[in-house]
Amino acid sequence: MSANAELRRQTGELDNPLVDEFDYLSVNHFYNLFERYFTILFPDISETPDRTYKALREWVGSRGSSRGVGIRQK
């Protein structure tokens, strides 16, 4: 993952510096982060009914992920 981030800068595709670990993440990582850290990202709604969670998960999934639906972690 870090090699890809550095390669993009060497080829000139990107010119912003790598400052911290978050700079190594790309859009395809967002779905996994959402799934794993849902309760941290959305503390006010993390205890909502499953229907709300599923709707948010589907919305995030429709924004570029072709992966299947994951399991909610508490």
38, 53 Cβ separation under 8 angstroms: yes
At 23, list the tokens: 């700079």
Least confident residue range of 1-5, 11-15, 16-20: 1-5
Residue of 28, 32, 40 whose CA lies nearest to 70: 32
| pTM metric for this prediction | 0.47
Specify whether the CB–CB gap between 65 and 31 falls below 8 A.
Answer: yes
At 49-73, the pLDDT tens digits run 677 778 887 887 666 544 444 444 4
pLDDT on residue 70 = 46
Identity of the amino acid at 12: G
> Each residue of 23-53: pLDDT tens digit?
888 777 877 888 888 888 877 776 666 777 7
Angle at 66 between CA 63 and CA 67, to 5 degrees: 110
